């Protein structure tokens, strides 16, 4: 069995986690910074830094994985010829772009507030854009690249808020959780709508025929992802219409139930990222375009 069939999805999942952890933490701080306490802001900064550090390491490992894929075995990751060929590939250009974005985020901490925000923003754009530089996003040029970028932006906002919310629920002071959850729900209407419209349109462009979602392996995994996203949307709606009001009526019970919901959302998010990694590393599009 080709060992890269197992390694590639794992590395890609970790890259997704690091990307949404870093970009999502920045977006969370950007949108809710004025409402966050100093301790909460510090947690977001720490999460951003750790995610960016992990991401920078994973991107380098991904470049080696390209060499390994080209050679077909583990030893190829240290084969100079395979590494040279890997560096010339579109996939590696994407990984190097992501690496540059992660490094920018790490260096942003040494800058003053305004310059820091600009650097975080540029780094975030680089990380998200890196996913559009190879693979399926190249299928229809600017159209698929733009759709994927919008989809990733919406996901980063949504998934990037899960760990901060989980951490806040575990603290003794949750006095601002109500206002944060309410504002998140309001902003999520736009961001989630954006990721859904862009994601579904992107999937349709890739497949070309909706019947393929039921008759092909790629389509079946994509359908699984859609079901998982639907479950995540259901939980998000529950949070907005049931648990946020409960936070006002019964803060203790509300925080406990809100945290449980967020924990389940985190589990679903990891499964969604795993299915996404399978779609982009281990499966071939029905029309025959091979992931690269």
**Can you tell me the mean pLDDT for 213-227?**
89
Residue 150 lies in a domain: yes
Q: 162 with 266: CB under 8 angstroms?
A: yes
Residue 289 lies in a domain: no
Q: Give the span between the Cα atoms of 238 and 247, in whole angstroms.
A: 13
Q: Give the span between the Cα atoms of 246 and 217, in whole angstroms.
A: 42
Residue 287 lies in a domain: no
Residue 238 lies in a domain: yes
Q: Tell me how many domains the chain contains.
A: 1
| pLDDT at site 290 | 39
**Can you tell me the mean pLDDT for 12-35?**
94
| pLDDT at site 112 | 67
**Can you tell me the mean pLDDT for 75-89?**
81
Residue 182 lies in a domain: yes
244 confidence band (pLDDT: 50, 70, 90) = confident
b/e per residue, 154-191, with b = 16+ CB within 10 A?
A: bbbbbbbbbbbbbbbbeeeebeebbebbeebbebbeeb
Residue 15 lies in a domain: yes
The 10s digit of each residue's pLDDT in 162-210 is 999 999 999 988 989 999 999 998 898 888 888 889 988 988 888 888 8
Residue 290 lies in a domain: no
Six-digit token pair at 85?
């060929």
Residue 288 lies in a domain: no
The whole domain housing 23 covers: 4-281
């Amino acid at each position: 069995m080709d060992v890269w069939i197992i390694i590639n999805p794992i590395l890609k999942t970790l890259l997704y986690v690091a990307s949404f952890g870093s970009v999502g933490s920045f977006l969370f701080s950007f949108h809710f910074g004025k409402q966050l306490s100093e301790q909460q802001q510090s947690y977001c900064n720490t999460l951003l830094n750790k995610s960016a550090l992990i991401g920078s390491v994973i991107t380098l490992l991904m470049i080696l994985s390209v060499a390994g894929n080209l050679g077909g075995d583990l030893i190829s990751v240290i084969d100079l010829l395979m590494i040279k060929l890997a560096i010339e590939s579109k996939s590696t250009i994407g990984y190097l772009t992501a690496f540059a974005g992660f490094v920018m985020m790490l260096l942003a901490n040494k800058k003053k507030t305004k310059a820091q925000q600009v650097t975080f923003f540029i780094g975030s754009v680089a990380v998200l854009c890196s996913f559009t530089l190879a693979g399926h996003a190249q299928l229809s040029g600017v159209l698929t690249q733009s759709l994927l970028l919008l989809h990733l932006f919406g996901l980063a906002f949504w998934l990037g808020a899960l760990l901060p919310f989980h951490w806040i629920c575990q603290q003794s002071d949750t006095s601002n959780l109500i206002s944060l959850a309410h504002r998140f729900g309001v902003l999520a209407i736009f961001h989630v709508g954006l990721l859904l419209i862009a994601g579904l349109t992107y999937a349709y462009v890739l497949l070309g025929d909706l019947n393929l979602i039921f008759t092909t392996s790629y389509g079946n995994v994509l359908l699984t992802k859609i079901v998982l996203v639907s479950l995540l949307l259901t939980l998000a709606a529950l949070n907005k219409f049931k648990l946020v009001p409960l936070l006002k009526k019964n803060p203790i019970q509300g925080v406990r139930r809100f945290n449980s919901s967020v924990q389940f959302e985190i589990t679903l998010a990891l499964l969604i990222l795993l299915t996404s990694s399978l779609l982009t590393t281990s499966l071939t599009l029905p029309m025959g375009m091979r992931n690269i």
